[in-house]
Amino acid sequence: LLISTSTLTLLDSQIYADELVYPAVSFLSSLFGYQGSDSELKVEKDGVSDSESKVDSGLPEVPVPPDDTPEVLNKALSGLSSRWKNWWVRGILTLAMISFFFFIIYLGPMVLMMIVLCVQIKCFHEIITIGYSVYHSYHLPWFRTLSWYFLLCVNYFFYGETVTDYFFTLVQREEPLRILSKYHRFISFALYLTGFCMFVLSLVKKHYRLQFYMFGWTHVTLLIVVTQSHLIIHNLFEGMIWFIVPISCVICNDIMAYMFGFFFGRTPLIKLSPKKTWEGFIGGFFATIVFGILLSYVMAGVRYFVCPVEFNNDSNSFQVDCEPSDLFQLQDYALPSILESVTGWTTVRLYPFQIHSIALSTFASIVGPFGGFFASGFKRAFKIKDFANTIPGHGGIMDRFDCQYLMATFVNVYIASFIRGPNPTKVIQQLLALRVDQQLHIFNSLKAHLTEKGLLPALEEAAA
């Protein structure tokens, strides 16, 4: 009795409660006569170490998905060790995914946007499924229903904003769309408020804290997945090169870090990912820098990749045709004296975008992997190897896109900070949405300003 009471007192000293071991602790309390409040029966749930395996043993684990490697590959690679078998499976599936990536690029920006939406939904499904698999024994009402409802609300808000920005003329032309656009934010807020009220009504006594935990789980998942995928689509509208190069740099770094680590890896990089090595990290960095510069050189000369994706109101379709900006015009750059002495060249001819690609490649190879480390920590917290088993040898879709979402945010911020300038098209769209008297007022103000600057007479003479 003394030992049991002391054990419960030790649990009482912890800071964070673990709803998963609460039933067991309650049973011991009643068995040995220990009287304590719900808040007193607490177990630390963060920072679990090997020495705390007894506490971990009480955690319900996510079922390990079965090996779904195609039978053809299993037979062909049956004579290899598990290490080399995994190497070949990952390699073959990687080539298949790269080929599919090239195919959807060929199909155009609209297909790319649909693929981004599908990937977003699948990633959300994988993360929410983990939560449901761990906590399903509590029979929390409406958890999955509310999770998908909030996903619908957030997508409605973000995609509604995108449609209003990039399809302004089409929206103004169709009366239903114009009304939805005008009251878009109010409708989005009303939808979210409905879900919020449903959550409050679903609260169950004795599970309040766990339900709020899962409420936070859903919202953090929405922040990570939906917001980032929305930024990917915004990057795509700036030009397909801003979509393809960052994604390709992350893919290249992932592949080359794996290759260098597989053949030369000796020094562990981080405890969260024991298989990651410094050799792979450094090798992936240099390989990604070179790859980014070369890929940018190839793509910067093709209008299909560099022109902003715009909606043609006459044909009701997307178009990627323009006069490339200075960012995609070859220019001469003087080499530093050190490089000049090594190469013998005084100047080098590059696209300005290639210089920007160095920043993108650097982020993809140094900071981008931390998205993967974050995902590794998440998986270790729930004792799972992968988010799902969608892709043999690779895990789930989220396992392949954990670094891409972080990269998408960086690219969007980079464009807004260093690339994007005022957009005359959007200014004109906003002017056309004003009343006639407001348009005339702006016209007269602009005319007076140009006349004062001495530009209007010159423009009139040029027109004559």
pTM over 0.85: no
Specify if 390 maps to a domain.
yes
Would you say residue 266 lies in a domain? yes
Q: Is 359 within a domain? A: yes
Which of 58-67, 159-168, 344-353 has the weakest average pLDDT? 58-67
**Would you state the structure tokens that stand for residue 360, as one six-digit string?**
């993108």
Is residue 225 in some structural domain? Answer: yes
Q: Measure the CA angle with vertex 420, ends 419 and 425; round to 5°.
A: 150
Which residue segment(s) compose the domain that 16 sits in?
12-66+108-140+204-433
Instruction: Identify the pLDDT of residue 13.
Output: 38
SS3 367: coil
Give a yes or no: residue 168 inside a domain: no
Q: Give percent of the chain with pLDDT exceeding 70.
A: 80
Q: What is the pLDDT of residue 298?
A: 95
pLDDT tens-digit series, residues 264-282: 989 999 888 888 899 999 9
Tokens at 441, concatenated: 């007022």
Tens-place pLDDT, residues 173-204: 888 888 998 899 999 999 999 999 999 999 98
In contact, 156 and 186? CB cutoff 8 Å: no
User: Is pLDDT of 15 > 90?
Assistant: no
**Whole-number pLDDT of residue 149:** 96
pLDDT of 197-232, one tens digit each?
999 999 988 888 888 988 998 999 999 899 989 999
The H or E element that residue 11 is part of is helix 2-12
pLDDT of residue 349: 92
Neighbours of 349 (CB within 10 A): 10
pLDDT at residue 245, rounded to an integer: 95
Burial class (CB in 10 A: 0-12, 13-18, 19+), 229: buried
184-198: buried (b, 16+ CB within 10 Å) or exposed (e) per residue? Answer: beebbeebbeebeee
Per-residue model confidence (pLDDT) at position 424: 75
Alpha carbon distances (Å) from 293 to 160, 287, 361: 36, 10, 8
Supply φ then ψ for residue 167, to 5 degrees.
-125, 40
Report the number of distinct structural domains present in the chain.
1
| Amino acid identity for residue 84 in this structure | W
Neighbours of 212 (CB within 10 A): 12
Residue 322 and residue 306: Cα distance in Å, rounded?
9
Q: How far apart are CA 79 and CA 464, in angstroms?
A: 82
105 — pLDDT class (breaks 50, 70, 90): confident
Judge whether 112 and 104 are in contact, CB under 8 Å. Answer: yes
Residue 292, C-beta contacts closer than 8 angstroms, at least 6 positions apart: 245, 248, 249, 252, 357, 358, 360, 361, 364
24: confidence class by pLDDT, cuts 50, 70, 90: very low
The answer to whether 305 and 241 are in contact (CB under 8 A) is yes
Lowest mean pLDDT segment, chosen from 32-46, 114-128, 154-168, 376-390? 32-46
Give the mean model confidence (pLDDT) for residues 70-88: 71
Is there a domain that residue 128 lies in? yes
Does 334 map to a domain? yes
Interval 434-448: pLDDT, tens: 889 998 999 989 888
DSSP-derived 3-state class of residue 334: strand
| Residue 381 forms part of a structural domain | yes
